[in-house]
Amino acid sequence: MKARIFSRRNTVLVALLGAAILFGASTQTWVTAIGLTDMAQTQSAEIPGSDISEAVPAVALVALAAAVATSVARRVGRWIISVVLFAAGVFGLASAGSVTLTPRTSSLRALSDITGTTEFAAEYTLNWGVYAAMAGGLLIAAAGLVAFIFGRSWPVRTASKKYSRSAAAGAETDAEVDEYDLWDGLSEDDDPTESR
């Protein structure tokens, strides 16, 4: 049961979901600044996550690529990719988390671009986008951790081993094959339809 929960398929899906959530959340409003300086054209401003932390969308794309790579990587590659996934998730979580702790200072640079001054707003409210980004980062980090811990137990069979011929009886027997490893076999010019 544990092996099924922490399978490569589930890990990849969680990482993809986390990356999609983090990227989508970075385009949404994280902080609303209310009561701006009299020099500003408006008295409120909605600041998206990508303006507060410009690296978050890029990190989400890195996590997305790492998640896809996890689906086809072999053991050594999985460990490297799992570290990348974990680091991307922690960065996304930390970036959004710091905004929830200090929205005033975290959004100052982005707010200055809007108002043209370095004045703080009178009030700051957090929006759902920042919490969604934290959730996305958490999912990515969790997927990276699972890949690092359980990745060595994931199957590494190649497609050519799907059908094995018994030396004694000459009969074909089906062996359980991880569908992601079919890609490994194809990249090595192994035809999964051939009987060996």
At residue 32, the 3 state secondary structure works out as strand
pLDDT of res. 36? 77
Same domain for 114 and 81 = yes
* Residue range of the domain that includes 164: 157-196
Which has the higher per-residue pLDDT, 165 or 85? 85
pLDDT of residue 164 exceeding 50? no
Same domain for 93 and 62 = yes
Mean pLDDT: which of 93-107, 110-124, 168-182 is highest? 93-107
pLDDT of res. 173? 41
Which has the higher per-residue pLDDT, 7 or 26? 26
By percentage, how much of the chain surpasses pLDDT 90?
A: 45
Same domain for 52 and 37 = yes
pTM: 0.75
Which has the higher per-residue pLDDT, 67 or 156? 67
pLDDT of res. 157? 46
pLDDT of residue 190 exceeding 80? no
**How high does pLDDT run on average in the chain?**
80
pLDDT of residue 120 exceeding 70? yes
Same domain for 25 and 98 = yes
Domain count, the chain: 2
pLDDT of res. 186? 58
Same domain for 118 and 25 = yes
Same domain for 93 and 20 = yes
**94-113 tens-digit pLDDT:** 999 999 999 999 998 988 88
pLDDT of res. 56? 94
What are the residues facing 48 on neighbouring strands? Answer: 29
pLDDT of res. 71? 79
Same domain for 48 and 79 = yes
Same domain for 96 and 51 = yes
Same domain for 166 and 133 = no
- Contacts by 102-111, CB closer than 8 A, 24 or more apart: 103/31, 106/31, 106/52, 106/53, 107/30, 107/31, 107/33, 107/47, 107/52, 109/52, 110/47, 110/51, 110/52, 111/33, 111/36, 111/45, 111/47
pLDDT of res. 26? 95
